[in-house]
């Protein structure tokens, strides 16, 4: 009787293992330790901040792939044959953030849609492209002449644009 139950439990464990393998393979993501996870509520991770570039962001995951940190952005509701340019630029920004924060450039980033995973190789050209885009956005923002919409000191203190922003609330202003 004891042997039968042990055998049944072993079979169950094997089935669950196989099912997990199939699920993991279906995501298209590599087997790699997760070093960071934007868990959406339980234990929020700090954002990655590169103040000198005026850049801040929270990738969904950071994986450790053979010693290299790889950012992952997940768009579970998106179905497309090709990745959206805006999603690629968001992922490029995470790659730049990883490079700035860790001092080592990631080899690539991963973009997960509902049914496909896309790989974005991180190159010097991509980094330059992203930095040019950030400059364009800053110019557009300056032209728009937007005023601060809050009085939250902590929000400014954690903002990636703090150094450049002429409306940032300094602790002395409180």
165 near ligand SF4, rule: CB under 6 A:
yes
Q: Could you tell me if 166 and 54 are in contact, meaning their C-beta atoms sit under 8 angstroms apart?
A: no
Q: Could you tell me if 130 and 119 are in contact, meaning their C-beta atoms sit under 8 angstroms apart?
A: no
Supply the minimum distance, in Å, between the C-beta of residue 54 and ligand SF4.
9
Q: Could you tell me if 141 and 160 are in contact, meaning their C-beta atoms sit under 8 angstroms apart?
A: no
Nearest CB to ligand SF4, comparing residues 66 and 150: 150
Q: Among 148, 151, 171, 173, which residue sits at the site for ligand SF4 (rule: CB under 6 A)?
A: 148
Nearest CB to ligand SF4, comparing residues 25 and 148: 148
Report the alpha-carbon distance of residue 159 to residue 65 in Å, rounded: 29
Nearest CB to ligand SF4, comparing residues 84 and 162: 162
- Strands 68-74 and 108-112 come out as parallel
Q: Give CA separation, 23 vs 9, 66, 118, 129, in Å.
A: 21, 22, 17, 35
161 near ligand SF4, rule: CB under 6 A:
yes
Nearest CB to ligand SF4, comparing residues 116 and 155: 155
Q: Could you tell me if 73 and 60 are in contact, meaning their C-beta atoms sit under 8 angstroms apart?
A: yes
Number of residues that bind ligand SF4 (CB under 6 A): 9
162 near ligand SF4, rule: CB under 6 A:
yes
Which spans of this chain sit near ligand SF4 (rule: CB under 6 A)? 148, 155-156, 159, 161-162, 165, 167-168
């Amino acid at each position: 009787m004891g042997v039968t139950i042990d055998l049944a439990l072993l079979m169950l464990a094997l089935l669950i293992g196989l099912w997990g393998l199939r699920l993991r393979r279906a995501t298209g993501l590599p087997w790699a330790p997760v070093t960071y996870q934007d868990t959406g509520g339980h234990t929020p991770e700090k954002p990655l901040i590169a103040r000198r570039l005026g850049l801040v962001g929270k990738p969904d995951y950071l994986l450790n792939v053979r010693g290299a940190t790889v950012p992952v952005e997940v768009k579970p509701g998106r179905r497309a044959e090709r990745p959206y340019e805006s999603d690629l630029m968001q992922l490029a920004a995470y790659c730049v953030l990883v490079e700035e924060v860790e001092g080592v450039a990631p080899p690539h980033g991963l973009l997960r849609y509902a049914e496909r995973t896309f790989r974005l190789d991180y190159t010097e050209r991509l980094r330059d492209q992203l930095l040019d885009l950030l400059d364009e956005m800053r110019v557009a923002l300056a032209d728009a002449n937007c005023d601060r919409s809050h009085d939250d000191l902590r929000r400014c203190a954690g903002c990636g644009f703090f150094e450049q922003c002429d409306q940032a609330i300094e602790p002395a202003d409180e």
